[in-house]
Amino acid sequence: MVYRRRELWLLLLLTVGLGVGVAVSEFKRGFPDLAERLENLDTEAVSDHAAPTPAPAFTARPPKLSEAQIKLAGPLDLNRATTDDLQRLPGVGPTLAGQILRARERRGRFAATEDLLTVPGMGPRKFERIRDLVSVQE
């Protein structure tokens, strides 16, 4: 089958349009934050007199404590610990600290330190590493 020149141009345009659509969807999947900012760019109200918004402040992670420092201060009570307190434990970052707090909110107080094993992201090795550094008090 032989295509005429108009049909070839139409096929070429359809192919280019499909390629652009695939590229945009891959961009959105790879860079969701930037894609959202670009999509909302025309809806943001920009005023000539408005003061520029300050950049979000960098939030530093709390310094990790050594096991000796934690033992001197006493074990950390899982039922009273904040996110910063939990992040000071070895092997516990912001994600795991958040998971521990969400587990505490969902089920209520921890009854035993072994309850940490039910928290997503807390494995047996990590638990053994912090077992002596945490406690559950009434």
Please state, for a pLDDT cut of 70, what percent of the chain lies above it: 78
Whole-angstrom CA distances from 105 to 24, 27, 29, 53, 102 are 40, 37, 32, 34, 5
* Cβ partners under 8 Å of residue 63, min gap 6: 88
Domain assignment present for residue 71? The answer is yes
Query: pLDDT tens, 1-49?
Result: 788 999 999 999 999 999 998 988 888 888 777 777 777 776 655 544 4
Enclosing domain of residue 9: 5-39
Q: Provide the 3-class DSSP secondary structure of residue 76.
A: strand
Residues 35 and 71 in one domain: no
pLDDT of residue 100: 93
Domain count, the chain: 2
Q: Where are the strands (E) in 34-133, listed by range? A: 76-77
Q: The domain spanning residue 115 has which CATH number?
A: 1.10.150.320
Residues 80 and 120 in one domain: yes
| pLDDT for residue 131 is more than 70 | yes
Q: Provide the 3-class DSSP secondary structure of residue 126.
A: helix
Residues forming a β-bridge with 134: 76
Q: How far apart are CA 124 and CA 91, in angstroms?
A: 12
Task: Report yes or no: 136 and 111 within 8 Å, Cβ to Cβ.
Answer: yes
The neighbour count for residue 91, using CB atoms within 10 Å, is: 13
Among candidates 28, 25, 27, 133, which has minimal Cα distance to 85? 133
The answer to whether the pTM exceeds 0.75 is no
Domain assignment present for residue 75? The answer is yes
Domain assignment present for residue 45? The answer is no
Domain assignment present for residue 49? The answer is no
Domain assignment present for residue 51? The answer is no
Task: Report yes or no: 78 and 113 within 8 Å, Cβ to Cβ.
Answer: yes
Domain assignment present for residue 125? The answer is yes
Residues 72 and 111 in one domain: yes
Domain assignment present for residue 59? The answer is no
Domain assignment present for residue 112? The answer is yes
